Amino acid sequence: MKTFEKKIRQSASQHLDGKPAVTQGHVGWESPSNIAIVKYWGKYPGQVPANASLSMTLRESVTRTMMDFYFSEKRKKPGVDFEFHGAAHQGFARRIEKYLTGLSGFMPWISHTKFTIRSENTFPHSSGIASSASAMSALAACLCEIDEQMFGKDPAIEFEQKASFFARLGSGSAARSIYGRMAEWGITASCGDSSDEYAIPLPELHPDFFGLKDSILIITTGEKEVSSSLGHDLMRSNPYAKLRFEAAEENMQRLCNVMRNGDLGQFIDIMENEALSLHAMMMTSSPGYLLMKPGTLEAISRIRKFRAQTGLAIGFTLDAGANVHIIYPGQQEAAITNFIASDLEELCEEKTIIHDGMGMGPRKL
């Protein structure tokens, strides 16, 4: 069994026959989405990433989750009522129930608890912003808080580490949303105490990267043709997978150095290589698929041309979708938002662009 998992199970076993100090109450957390610079793509059973990843935590794109809980020893499995933007949502409720059932091995009280959950996102669905990252990290933070209210804080376990561990079990990228600015998840030679079990805040970040911006071009709001879960699965038979995992580790090592020394040019170089490598993996899977659209390619070409002409530090990254994340330092905001409005807006569905940037992580409500 993994080290941290063991620690969490040991901690839970200490209060197996103890009654919770609190049996009902209310908690709320707001948690952000994130955009990966080095991508997590491919995993092993138990939400173990095939390579380490590094992301920027967003500021504006967040999920707000409010949770009422009622503990009763008579209840034998978790119950969930779930409302998304004020409307009951059975599909999400079942998914959360499954997630909670999985977590009850770590927090046995979950099996005896009824949850009433209300959640909302500040960003539109299918916008290319990872809603699973913000939603699962907000849920994990709520559960960790209830756990502390019921059984007290275990001084041997950090709140964030535990929240990141539980968020990961819901969605890998959610593990990184627990930390502000930049976070790293997965064992890598380049980051001190990195782990496959939880994310860590990037240990050293040059101040030139503080306040990075992310303007998201909504090329299309349509549902993705292939889900990320299937995409991860297809990596198992991708003939280039091994090379990809090695290249990702190399990019992690380079990027961690760059994040320390503040070289924006190299940052952009690595980021764009990662975005294109991710989509190359999609194209070379069996069956192969393409999530980029003509507007995606046109935007990339215009961004690169603008960079060559102006020398400004502007680069792009892509998530598992067609929408383009434009990343640039806050100091260049005026010039770059002008360029986006004049040259890129026309490529977006209903001219939609979401302006976001680096955020400081989850917040208790």
Comparing CB distances to ligand DP6, the nearer of 12 and 278 is 278
Q: How far is the CB of 144 from ligand DP6 (least distance, A)?
A: 19
Comparing CB distances to ligand DP6, the nearer of 279 and 307 is 279
**Are 238 and 82 in contact, with CB atoms under 8 Å apart?**
no
Distance CA 161, CA 115 (A): 23
Distance CA 90, CA 92 (A): 6
Instruction: Tally Cβ neighbours within 10 Å of residue 178.
Output: 33
Can you read off the two tokens belonging to residue 306?
């603008």
- Using CB under 6 A as the binding rule, the residues of this chain from 153 to 172 that contact ligand DP6 are 171-172
Residue 137 in contact with ligand DP6, rule: CB under 6 A = no
Can you read off the two tokens belonging to residue 248?
């990702």
Residue 139 in contact with ligand DP6, rule: CB under 6 A = no
Q: How far is the CB of 360 from ligand DP6 (least distance, A)?
A: 19
Q: Using the 8-state DSSP alphabet, how is residue 114 labeled?
A: E
Residue 167, Cα to own-chain centre: how many angstroms?
9
Q: What sign for the dihedral angle of Cα 85, 91, 97, 102? A: negative
Residues 6+ apart with CB under 8 A from 152: 21
Which of 59, 213, 232, 244 is close enough to bind ligand DP6 by CB under 6 A? 232
Comparing CB distances to ligand DP6, the nearer of 112 and 232 is 232
Site string (238-277) toward ligand DP6, x via CB under 6 A: ----------------------------------------
Which of 113, 137, 173, 296 is close enough to bind ligand DP6 by CB under 6 A? 173
Can you read off the two tokens belonging to residue 327?
């990343």
Which of 103, 130, 157, 169 is close enough to bind ligand DP6 by CB under 6 A? 130
Can you read off the two tokens belonging to residue 296?
């995606």
Q: How far is the CB of 209 from ligand DP6 (least distance, A)?
A: 18
Number of residues that bind ligand DP6 (CB under 6 A): 16
Which of 51, 119, 228, 251 is close enough to bind ligand DP6 by CB under 6 A? 228
Residue 320 in contact with ligand DP6, rule: CB under 6 A = yes
Comparing CB distances to ligand DP6, the nearer of 44 and 210 is 44
Can you read off the two tokens belonging to residue 53?
């990843």
Distance CA 252, CA 186 (A): 10
- Using CB under 6 A as the binding rule, the residues of this chain from 1 to 60 that contact ligand DP6 are 36, 39-41, 53
Comparing CB distances to ligand DP6, the nearer of 229 and 310 is 229
**Are 256 and 359 in contact, with CB atoms under 8 Å apart?**
no
Length of the chain: 365
Residues that bind ligand DP6 (CB under 6 A): 36, 39-41, 53, 130, 132, 171-173, 228-229, 232, 278, 319-320
